[in-house]
Amino acid sequence: MLHPGTDNVALFSSAAIATCVITYRGKPAHAAASPWEGANTLDALVLAHSAIGLLRQQLRPSDRVHGNITNGGKAVNIIPEYCTATYAVRSPNPMRVKELMDKVEKCFRAAALATGTEVTINWTRTLDTGSGNVIAGLNVHSNEKMARRLQDYLSRDIDNWASDAGILGNASTVCISSKPDVDFRISAG
């Protein structure tokens, strides 16, 4: 993989990544007239986001968890029926990514329980290596069987992969990979 950039970089490290789309479903209500009739999905999302923020204290320095609320409701005076967010977990160790997936998933589920809402968690950009072992990855391996599994996985589910360093990190769990950055700027002189 060749990556255009503003510097020439021969050695590059990319963390393994798994992303998820979170959807909370609840019951809409008028926020001023009858809020007790609703099940507030935005409260669930904010609670989960806060729990993940507190979780960071127990994470390793190389672990990353990022989130973005993609739908927080339609009006300020309506308790939203559903809310959505996208989250990503990253680590240099692909098995650690699986651990991070479990940890943040517990935050999402606990928030649903606390608010009386339902949550759906759809993970993408992961690699099913068989036997129920789902990982994302960076560590460089050369393994023909894993390479065939990756090829099969990508051919079935290409929409779940993005063309950035994250996919290279995932792909490098099954084949030797390199991603040098090359300076493509044109000199004014």
Report pLDDT digits (tens) over 105-152.
Answer: 999 999 999 999 999 999 986 655 445 545 444 333 344 555 566 566
User: What per-residue confidence (pLDDT) applies to 161?
Assistant: 43
| pTM for this entry | 0.66
CATH number belonging to the domain at 3-183, selected among 3.30.70.360, 3.30.67.10, 3.40.50.2300, 3.40.50.300: 3.30.70.360
> Which residue ranges make up each domain of the chain?
3-183
For 120-149, give the DSSP string: EEEEES-EE-STT-EE---S----HHHHHH
DSSP state of 35: G
User: What per-residue confidence (pLDDT) applies to 164?
Assistant: 44
User: What per-residue confidence (pLDDT) applies to 138?
Assistant: 35
Residues of the chain with pLDDT under 70: 1-14, 125-189
Provide CB contacts within 8 A for 109, sequence distance 6+: 119, 121
Provide CB contacts within 8 A for 112, sequence distance 6+: 24, 44, 118, 119
User: What per-residue confidence (pLDDT) applies to 94?
Assistant: 78
Contact 129, 170 (CB under 8 A): no
User: What per-residue confidence (pLDDT) applies to 5?
Assistant: 60
